[in-house]
């Protein structure tokens, strides 16, 4: 079976709409991954908690700690995806702030102060 690849395609940044669509498509692509990783981390921790303890004198507490340590990496992966999604949104907002505001300011005619109008 062929592996399904996910891609945003070739970036073509020729207009503000293209920048916005690229950032939106990126968020749509990775947003479901956050939920999947977060749920998987919880499931992994629950499964690993029930693994036979290496030291029976600890009454299974070592298994719970080890499970939390292992699942923490999946949780951190989910958080990284969340940060990536937020960064995509910030990319477009930053573009609007630093480029579109300047272009819009130039396109609007400024009202001139007329001293002779009394």
pLDDT for 87 equals 97
Q: Where are the domains of the chain?
A: 16-103
117 dihedral zone (left: phi>0; alpha: psi -120 to 50; beta): beta
CA separation (Å) from 48 to 14, 16, 20, 95? Answer: 50, 48, 42, 45
Low-confidence ranges of the chain (pLDDT < 50): 1-3
pLDDT for 48 equals 92
Query: How far is the C-alpha of 81 from the C-alpha of 7, rounded, in Å?
Result: 15
pLDDT for 23 equals 94
3-16 pLDDT, tens per residue? Answer: 456 677 788 889 89
Q: Which residue has the tokens 């070739």?
A: 10
pLDDT for 106 equals 67
Q: Which residue has the tokens 């947003």?
A: 31
pTM for this one? 0.72
């Amino acid at each position: 079976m062929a592996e399904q690849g996910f891609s945003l395609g070739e970036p073509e940044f020729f207009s503000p709409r293209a920048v916005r669509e690229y950032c939106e498509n990126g968020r749509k692509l990775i947003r479901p991954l956050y939920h999947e990783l977060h749920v998987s981390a919880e499931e992994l921790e629950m499964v690993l908690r029930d693994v036979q303890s290496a030291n029976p004198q600890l009454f299974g507490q070592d298994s719970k700690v080890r499970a939390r340590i292992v699942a923490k990496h999946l949780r951190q992966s989910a958080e990284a995806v969340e940060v990536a999604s937020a960064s995509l949104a910030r990319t477009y907002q930053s573009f609007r702030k630093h480029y579109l505001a300047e272009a819009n300011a130039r396109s609007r005619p400024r009202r001139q102060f007329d001293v002779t109008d009394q």
